[in-house]
Amino acid sequence: MNRDPLIALRPWEAPEVTSWGRLPMCAVDRRSGALSLDGEWRFQLLPSPDSPVTDAWGTQTVPGAWTLQDTDDLPQYTNVRMPFDAFPPAVPAADPTGVYERTVDVPDAWAGRRIVLQVGAAESVLLVHVDGRPVGVSKDSHLAAEFDLSGVVRPGERATVRLTVVKWSDASHIEDQDQWWHGGSTRSVLLYATDPLHLADVTVRARPDGGLRVDCQVRTADGALPAGWYVTGKLDGRLLAQDAEFDRLNAEDDRVSDFLGEARLTATVPDVRPWTAETPELYDLTVRLHRADGSVADTSRHRVGFREVEIRGRDLLLNGERIYIRGVNRHDFHPLTGRTVTYEETRADLVTLKRFGFNAIRTSHYPNDPALYDLADELGLYVVDEADIESHDHAHEIADDPRYLNAFVDRVARMVLRDKNHPSVVIWSLGNESDYGANHDAAAGWLRRHDPTRPLQYEGAAKRGWADPAVASDIACPMYAPIEDCVAHALSGEQTKPLIQCEYGHAMGNSNGTLADHWAAIESTPGLQGGFIWEFWDHGILQRVSDGRPAGRAGAGLYDNGVAAPGHRWAYGGDFGDLPNDGAFCADGVVFPDRTPKPAMYEHREIAAPLRLECFRHEGVVIRNHQHFRGLDWLRAEWELSLADGPTLTAPAELPSLAPGESTAVRLPFRLPRKGGEAWLTLRVRTADDEPWAPRGTEVCVPQVRLRGPSAESPVPVPGRSVEIDEVGLLVHPLLAAAPTLTLWRAPTDNDELGGTAGRWQAWGLDRLVRTVVEVRRGDGPVTVVSAYACEAGAVRHEQVFTAVEGGIRVQETAELPPELLDVARVGSVFETVPGPDLLEWYGRGPWESYPDRAAGAPVGHHSAPVDELFTPYLRPQESGGRHGVRHFTLWAPDATGLSVRLDEPRQISVTRHRAEDLTAAGHHDELVARPGCVVHIDAAHRGLGTASCGPDTSASYLIPPGVHHWSWTLRTH
């Protein structure tokens, strides 16, 4: 039997024990001036927490997860299910336990001071010993734990700190978020000292009318407070004084003890610059605690934003304005270090979000690294701060289990106590996917009393009734609700709360179809205010292929543009031999694991554009300021006039001065040339000056309007010349390695797979159509080839008419789909070129990938890109690289020869180095072998992407009906 009292207590199977010896959480930041204990620690991994510690020490870097630092305990990915079978609060006997140890030289200068150890994060139970003596216990893996070491260590002497981190515990059952499981001490560890007389907490309330209230809690190490202490404050140079009335009331109140000091600073700041996500104005506040003689005992610094959140009716208001929430769910994530993220990395995340038009983050599903909140304050992002509670697998049992009551309240309270002073935090969340029970109501009760200044939300409660006033959610915050359901609720007359989806637009693989339709509904329906895309990150861990191990910090730089370097890959569930696992479901973000934005990000950027072009009237175009709080003066722009059969003209644009929401018509800087065909007017909008999140000249959006529609092309047949067709009815052409044939299939996307459509395609046999020639009709002029494509669901009749036209060949195609084929991936032609072409030029949507239901962010124009860069390297290979609304394209070889295709109307195309079956066969990007030629798809129709891997499929209008499809195109060589 282990005699250590902390071990003997077995806190890892005691949900009632949330901590022992831990100091209360507060909002006083002690990071500056502290002694950092980050770096190398002695380390050993025990098979269970009660196994004896041995002499076999290795090392580990703190902060960090041991699962990513060369131990045999590797990462495991599960979504809903727990990685082990035990029923809460039990855990398996095999319970990896990391013992971290190091010595610390406690500074001499700390004599007489109060000394505190702060452990930033430990997953999932932390036991602390100093010099062999038990000091404390903590749970709540994503919030810091502090322990008072004043009576334990001696200034001027060396102390040995041991952190024992137990991986599986009762707490794991309420930390069952959809992400990798790790073990370790994953945020910074530090030691600091204060005067025994110290600021135990500071609560700042700052309103946009300039009202400022700062409440200070003052404590001394032990015993009653010394007489005569007082506090002062300074806000951007303005002195604040202690509120005498507050003091008088306290003095008269005999319930206020001499042990608990409270003081209030108040002020009204004139002409305050309010904080909003668009205008993140911050003021510096310094709070000082003085001894009776005026000397300073303690100081606390804060950045204050004057702002107010309120719900009025069914609107969420910021500073009285109804705002849209253009949010994303974000995990603390890094492909090398797991949940350990640096300030710079977090900043890069937030900068990326700002550049792509996001204005909000839900810290799914736990309080994030403290840096996130500082940066959100500074860069301007609204935050839904979420407590670390997700009991997904055993949600129903735990929600009402009184043994977990304390943990629920504790986790919510500690988050609020830490983050309450951040202007960016506008909403609290009780957690995620934990059903709804008394434990939630208890936490909500604590929260509403403690912080009446912010609404709270909880999806599990909201689900019980979006309009129900009794449930613990001030916001109707569903996940993945179909657009129609949201609109219907808003129109029902029954809506009582703002509707802001806590998750929508599941970004797994090639996804985020219908994002623009969501926003069209949101912006046209009072009561709908936005939502949070699921999610920011693709959680691929960089893995060495040779030994299957995580690359860890040694992998720095071994990736680029979303792709892992040769010999490496982005691992997802199962790749570490982890069982059970949920495969690639963790790769569902709008950025790749190296933060390279996926094409869906550009769709979002355009939807969120601060400036809109609305329509074309009388030689003019209407510009609207689509922001809530800012003018257009931070932007500069340039007009582009792009002609389908002509050049792109540019001209400087003079942006009008418009208040938020205002619009005005401006005259066009061009006369529309009579020639050149279809014409689009684009406004390329950039930052006029450096913004904290973007250097001057960063592109912000590219709104456009069509000035003139396409004119039909009718190629002129060349009499007497015929097209060469072989005996099985296939086109023979010197630049084609494979002749154009019919295809109805695409390499299933994650949405196709998980939403079930891919299974239907497979059952129908769309991936293995068998072609037979029915008839080849040759004459003087066109050659007609009729084929039948057989599959399990019936035969598809396909006709191609080949005509020699000026400069090339015209191909007119017809496909007749039987009624059984009611939802195919595409109807189109596929052919392959000989090796050579490596550059694509096109007129259509671009430059990035676009699909029928994700095309709003890709402006129509002349674009070009190397063929190898057209493809998007989604972690699990799938249909990718499509370009929507293409009118014509040319494939160039380096020797300036090439082939071009002109389409009868704007069509979906793709040019890649991979056949659909190549993509389907590969599990990871590194398994793909590029073909020497180009695989070219021209689609008469292409199914929308939707988001069915988790949530609604695409809308009916983006499905392909059975029946007759016609398309035609002209192939020319250069």
Annotated active-site positions, please? 433, 503
**Buried/exposed code over 910-949 (b: 16+ C-beta within 10 A; e: otherwise):** bbbbbbbebbbebebbbebeebebbbbbbbbbbbbbbbbb
Judging by beta carbons within 10 Å of its beta carbon (0-12, 13-18, 19+), is residue 127 exposed, middle or buried? Answer: buried
| CB closer to ligand GAL, 805 vs 950 | 950
List the one residue from 140, 175, 178, 678 that touches Mg ion (CB under 5 A): 178
Q: Residue number with the shortest CB distance to Mg ion?
A: 392
Angle among Cα 244, 249, 253 to the nearest 5 degrees reads 145
> Between 360 and 389, how does the x/- string for binding to ligand GAL read (CB under 6 A)?
-----x------------------------
Regarding 175 and contact with Mg ion (CB under 5 A), the answer is: no
| CB closer to Mg ion, 451 vs 578 | 578
Give which of Mg ion, ligand GAL, none residue 340 binds (C-beta under 5 to 8 Å, depending on kind).
Answer: none
Give which of Mg ion, ligand GAL, none residue 385 binds (C-beta under 5 to 8 Å, depending on kind).
Answer: none
Query: Minimum Å distance from CB 589 to Mg ion?
Result: 16
> Between 134 and 173, how does the x/- string for binding to ligand GAL read (CB under 6 A)?
----------------------------------------
Query: Minimum Å distance from CB 592 to ligand GAL?
Result: 16
**Buried/exposed code over 35-65 (b: 16+ C-beta within 10 A; e: otherwise):** bebeeebebbbbebbbeeeeeeeeebbbbbb
Regarding 594 and contact with Mg ion (CB under 5 A), the answer is: no
Give which of ligand GAL, Mg ion, none residue 201 binds (C-beta under 5 to 8 Å, depending on kind).
Answer: none
Q: Which of 163, 218, 216 is nearest to 196 (CA)?
A: 218
Tokens of 531: 């939502």
Query: Minimum Å distance from CB 123 to ligand GAL?
Result: 17
| CB closer to Mg ion, 178 vs 575 | 178
Residues touching Mg ion, count (CB under 5 A): 3
Regarding 178 and contact with ligand GAL (CB under 6 A), the answer is: yes
Regarding 71 and contact with ligand GAL (CB under 6 A), the answer is: no
d(CA 602, CA 905): 24
List the one residue from 201, 503, 538, 918 that touches ligand GAL (CB under 6 A): 503
d(CA 279, CA 698): 18
List the one residue from 19, 352, 432, 495 that touches ligand GAL (CB under 6 A): 432
* Terminal-to-terminal C-alpha distance of the chain: 84
d(CA 206, CA 190): 30
Return the residues of window 868-927 that contact ligand GAL according to CB under 6 A.
Answer: none
Tokens of 873: 């390297």
List the one residue from 13, 201, 433, 879 that touches Mg ion (CB under 5 A): 433
Residue 148's CB is within 10 A of a number of other CB atoms, namely 17
**CB 535, CB 588: distance < 8 Å:** yes
Give which of Mg ion, ligand GAL, none residue 479 binds (C-beta under 5 to 8 Å, depending on kind).
Answer: ligand GAL
Strand (E) or helix (H) holding 823:
none
Query: Which residues neighbour 466 within 8 Å (Cβ) at sequence distance 6 or greater?
Result: 476, 478, 489, 495, 497, 499
| CB closer to ligand GAL, 79 vs 968 | 79
d(CA 314, CA 498): 4
> Between 330 and 369, how does the x/- string for binding to Mg ion read (CB under 5 A)?
----------------------------------------
Q: Side-chain half-sphere of 265: how many Cα atoms within 13 Å? A: 25
d(CA 174, CA 435): 11
Give which of ligand GAL, Mg ion, none residue 588 binds (C-beta under 5 to 8 Å, depending on kind).
Answer: ligand GAL
**CB 939, CB 850: distance < 8 Å:** no
Regarding 393 and contact with ligand GAL (CB under 6 A), the answer is: no
List the one residue from 67, 71, 79, 803 that touches ligand GAL (CB under 6 A): 79
Give which of ligand GAL, Mg ion, none residue 950 binds (C-beta under 5 to 8 Å, depending on kind).
Answer: ligand GAL
List the one residue from 159, 171, 472, 479 that touches ligand GAL (CB under 6 A): 479
Sign of CA dihedral 148, 152, 157, 158: negative
| CB closer to Mg ion, 266 vs 391 | 391
Distance of CA 743 to the CA centre of its chain: 34
Distance of CA 733 to the CA centre of its chain: 46
List the one residue from 324, 428, 532, 534 that touches ligand GAL (CB under 6 A): 534
**CB 710, CB 620: distance < 8 Å:** no
Query: Minimum Å distance from CB 516 to ligand GAL?
Result: 21
**CB 100, CB 165: distance < 8 Å:** yes
| CB closer to ligand GAL, 220 vs 949 | 949
| CB closer to Mg ion, 374 vs 433 | 433
Give which of ligand GAL, Mg ion, none residue 503 binds (C-beta under 5 to 8 Å, depending on kind).
Answer: ligand GAL
Query: Minimum Å distance from CB 436 to ligand GAL?
Result: 14
| CB closer to Mg ion, 178 vs 349 | 178
| CB closer to ligand GAL, 506 vs 798 | 506
Return the residues of window 575-604 that contact ligand GAL according to CB under 6 A.
Answer: 585, 588
Backbone phi and psi for residue 174, each to the nearest 5 degrees, phi listed first: -110, 15
Regarding 950 and contact with ligand GAL (CB under 6 A), the answer is: yes
d(CA 558, CA 542): 8
d(CA 550, CA 187): 19
Peptide bond into 832 cis (omega under 30): no
> Between 392 and 421, how does the x/- string for binding to Mg ion read (CB under 5 A)?
x-----------------------------
| CB closer to ligand GAL, 272 vs 600 | 600
Give which of ligand GAL, Mg ion, none residue 534 binds (C-beta under 5 to 8 Å, depending on kind).
Answer: ligand GAL
Dihedral angle of Cα 378, 383, 387, 389, to the nearest 10 degrees: -130
Residues in contact with ligand GAL by the rule CB under 6 A: 79, 177-178, 365, 432-433, 479, 503, 506, 534, 585, 588, 950
Residues in contact with Mg ion by the rule CB under 5 A: 178, 392, 433
